[in-house]
Amino acid sequence: MIQTQTVLDVADNSGARKVMCIKVLGGSKRKYATIGDIIVVAVKEAIPNAKVKKGDVAKAVIVRTAKEIGRSDGSYIRFDNNSAVLVDNHHEPIGTRIFGPVARELRAKRFLKIISLAPEVL
Q: For residue 66, what pLDDT band results from cuts at 50, 70 and 90?
A: very high
pLDDT number for residue 22: 96
Share of the chain above pLDDT 90, in %: 98
pLDDT number for residue 112: 93
**Could you give the CA distance from residue 37 to residue 75 in angstroms, rounded to a whole number?**
20
The β-bridge partners of 24 are: 39
Q: What is the mean pLDDT of residues 57-83?
A: 95
pLDDT number for residue 37: 95
Q: For residue 30, what pLDDT band results from cuts at 50, 70 and 90?
A: very high
pLDDT number for residue 119: 94
pLDDT number for residue 100: 94
Q: Note the pTM of the prediction, 2 decimals.
A: 0.92
Q: Which of 43, 51, 39 shows the shortest CA–CA distance to 9?
A: 43
pLDDT in tens, 12-24: 999 999 999 999 9
For residue 43, count other CB atoms closer than 10 A to its CB.
Answer: 23
Q: For residue 34, what pLDDT band results from cuts at 50, 70 and 90?
A: very high
User: Whole-number mean pLDDT of the chain?
Assistant: 94
The length of the chain is 122
**Could you give the CA distance from residue 9 to residue 26 in angstroms, rounded to a whole number?**
22
